[in-house]
Structure 1
Amino acid sequence: MANYLKLFQLPDAFTFHRGGQIHGGLLAYETWGELNADQSNAILILTGLSADSHAARHSANDTAGWWDFMIGPGKAIDTDQWFVVCASSLGSCKGSTGPCSPKPHTGKPYRFEFPDLTLEDIANSSVLLCQSLGIEQLHAVIGPSMGGMSALALLLNHHNYCRHLVHIASGMASPPFSTAIRSLQREAILKDENFNQGHYSATSWPEEGMKFARKIGMLSYRSALEWRDRFPRSLKQVPEHPFGIEFPVESYLEHHANQFIHQFDPISYLYLSRAMDWFDGYRYAKNRADNPLQHVTLDSALVIGVTTDLLFPTDLQEKLHALLLDMGCDSELVITDSIQGHDAFLVDQPVFTRLVEDYLQGTQ
C-alpha cells in the first residue's frame, strides 16, 4: 500500500458521541509498511492534541515526522514488520474535518456550529478508518498524551478491537491541574480581541491569544529540572524595552510560541482541548466499585509514565495499570526518570525506543 497522505470519507452521516452529525466528513491519514495476508500486523497510532498524521518520513514525504525516531524500517515500530496507520484527529485542522472546515452546501467554516467533539468521536472515526483498510482487529493501539486517552476511549467502545495497548503519559481522565492549564489556554484564545467570537481571518488572526496559550502549554510540557539545566540564570540579554525579553528561557518561549501561532487553528485548539477535559474513562463503570475496563478484551499492555510529568503524573499510570491487571490483562508499568517532563516521549529517544521496541517484539 502506498505510503502517502490519503483521505478517508466517514459514513454519511457521522453521529457524534454527544449528539450532532456531519456529512461528508474526512480523515487525513498516512500509512507505513504493508498489511499482511491475515491482517494481523496492524498498529494504530493516536496522536496528541497538535500532532498530525505525519508521524514519520516515508517514500512519498521525506520530511521528518513528529515521531520520526520511533517509526520506520528497523526502528522501534518496525515498518518492515508492522503496518502502521496514523490519522490527523477528527476535529483538528490538519486535513481532517474540524471546526475550521467548510460546511457542505454553504462552503463557510463550521466554527462553533461544529458538533461537540469528544475523544470517543476521535476513537470511533479511527476505528472506521481501520475497518475501511480491511483491519478486522488491531494488533496494537499506541497513544501518547491525548492519544492515550483516545486509545482508552477506543477500548471502552470497541471491546474486542485491539489485542495490545501502549499507553504513554496519559490517564483515565485529566487531573485538575491539567484541566486548569488547558482552561487558561482556552481563555487566552477566547479573550483575544481578534478572536471575534470565532470570526477571525488570516489577516486578523488571534495571534496574542495563541501565543499565550502556547507559552502556558510549554511550561507544562517540560519540567523545572530541565529548565534549570538548559537555561542558566546568569545568561541575560539587554531587553528592547522595559520588561521586555531578558532571560534565555523567555527567548525560548517567545521563539517557539511565534512558530506555533499560525500552525494550528484556534477553534480546533479549543475543541480538542475541551475534549481532553471532558473525557472520563471512569464513567464507563455502572457502579463506583466496578472496573470500567471490565468488559474490555486485551491480551497485554505497556503503561509508561514519567516522574517529571506535570500534566499526567505517575499516579494516573499506576491507577490504570491496576485496573488493567484487575480485568485480567497482562499489564506492565514502567515509570521513567526522564527529565523532559510530559514531552519525554518526543525527546528521550533512547528510553522510549527501547521500551516500545521490546514490548512490541514480546507481543509476537
Structure 2
Amino acid sequence: MTEAVADARRWHALPSPFPMKRGGALVDARLAYETWGELSATRDNAILIHTGLSPGAHAASNAEDPSSGWWEGMIGPGLAIDTDRWFVVCVNTLGSCKGSTGAASINPATGETYRLDFPDLTLEDAANAAQDLVRALGIARLACLLGNSMGGMTALAHLAQHRGCARTHISISTAPQAQPFAIAIRSLQREAIRLDPQWDEGRYDDERYPEAGMSIARKLGVITYRSAMEWVGRFARIRLDAERREDDPFGAEFEIESYLQGHARRFVRSFDPNSYLYLSRASDWFDIAEHGGGDARAALAGLGIERALVIGVETDILFPLSQQQEIADGLVAGGTAVDFVALDSPQGHDAFLVDLERFGAAIARFLGSL
C-alpha cells in the first residue's frame, strides 16, 4: 500500500485567457501556493514571497505538510518571519513545474504537454499572476513583498507593474537586470540541456530524459551559488578514497567533484528541463529599466515603496553586491527609507538559504520595526 504524501499546496485559477507579455495567452492556467499564519481582520498583515528558479511553494513546514521547506527555520512562530504576526504566502512561479502552469503542464487546446508550445515567459508574467492571487485573497495592499534571487527580480517586476501593491519590500541577493556573467552562465546551462540528444527539441519522456544535460546545468549553477572561499574551506584538494573513485581514467578524483555529482543526481529528475529553460531565459530577459523609460534608476525610484530592506553578500558572484547597492540607491532616489545590509558570509549567493542566523537577524529586525 502506498503511503499518501502530505501536500499543503493550494491552487489559484488565473483569469482565462491569461495574456502574456511577449504574446500569446494561457487558458485555464493556475498557480500553486502555500500559506502560514492567519490573515488579520483588516487584511493588512500579508507577506508575499517570490522564490528563486527551482524552489516550490513549500517554503516551510506546516500542519498540512510537516516536511522541511526550502526556507525552514526562517518562517514560523517566533522566527524571523513570525507567523504569529504575519500571514505569509509563498507562490510557485508561473512557468515552474512545482504545481503552477508551465511547459510541463497539459495544454488544454491539444490535450498534450505544452513542451515548447508554452508561450514565451517573462518575470513580468509571473508577477502579474501573483498579483491576481493577492487580489483573490482579498488583500488590497501587501504589508511586505519579499523576493530572493530570481524571485527578487520577479518582485521588482511586481512592484513596477502594480504600483502601491505593497507597503514595504525585502530584496535579497537579486538584480535590477541580468548582467553579462549571469547571462553567460545561464546560457551555458541552457546549452548543456539543449545539446543533450535526449532533450530532442523538448520531446523527452521518463525513458528518454536529458539527464546528462541537466546534470551539467546543475553543476554549473552550484559552482556559482557558492564562493571560491567556501570551496577551499570545505574541500581544499582532498582526493577521494580509492574505493570511491570511478573506473574511468577521467572520472571523479576530488571531493569537490563528488559533491557536485551528488547535487546533480538529486536535482535532475526533480525539475522539468523545459521549465528550467523557460525560467532561465526569463531571468536573462528581465531589465527593470524597461519600466523606467530605459533608465533603471528611474524605474526603481518610481516603485512607490515606503520602506525597504536590501540584503546582499560580499562573496556573491552571480548577483554581486554592486547590484544590491544599485537597487538600494534607486529606491532611495524615490524617497524610500532603505536599510542596506552587506553580509560577509562565505556561502556566496546561497547564503540566504544556509546562513539563516545572519539573514534571519536582518529580516527580523526590519519586520519587527514595521
TM-score category (smaller protein): over 0.9
Could you list the per-position Cα deviations for residues 5-58 of structure 1 after superposition, in whole angstroms to 9, with x for gaps in the alignment? 111000011001111101100101110010001110000000000010000000
- Correspondent of 1:58 among 36, 59, 62: 62
- Correspondent of 1:185 among 185, 189, 208: 189
Match in the other structure for 2:260 = 253
Match in the other structure for 2:308 = 301
Matches of residues 1-364 of structure 1 in structure 2 within 5 Å? 4-238=8-242, 239=245, 240-286=247-293, 288=295, 291-363=298-370
Q: Alpha-carbon deviation of 1:219?
A: 0.4
CA distance in 1, matches of 2:261, 2:241: 14
Q: Alpha-carbon deviation of 1:289?
A: 8.8
Residue type at the aligned position of 1:14: F
Aligned length: 361
Farther off after superposition, 350-359 or 99-108:
99-108
CA RMSD of aligned residues (A): 1.2
CA distance in 1, matches of 2:303, 2:362: 24
Contact 2:226 2:349 in 1 (8 A): yes
TM (norm. structure 1) is 0.97
CA distance in 1, matches of 2:238, 2:259: 15
The 3 A distance-change label for structure 1 pair 289 and 9 is closer
Contact 2:103 2:115 in 1 (8 A): yes
CA distance in 1, matches of 2:274, 2:181: 22
The 3 A distance-change label for structure 1 pair 11 and 31 is same
Contact 1:145 1:169 in 2 (8 A): yes
The 3 A distance-change label for structure 1 pair 146 and 67 is same
Structure 1, unaligned stretches of length 5 or more?
A: none
Contact 2:312 2:342 in 1 (8 A): yes
The 3 A distance-change label for structure 1 pair 119 and 288 is closer
The 3 A distance-change label for structure 1 pair 290 and 148 is closer
Q: Alpha-carbon deviation of 1:317?
A: 0.7
Q: Alpha-carbon deviation of 1:132?
A: 0.4
TM (norm. structure 2) is 0.96
Farther off after superposition, 286-295 or 65-74:
286-295
Structure 2, unaligned stretches of length 5 or more?
A: 1-6
The 3 A distance-change label for structure 1 pair 68 and 21 is same
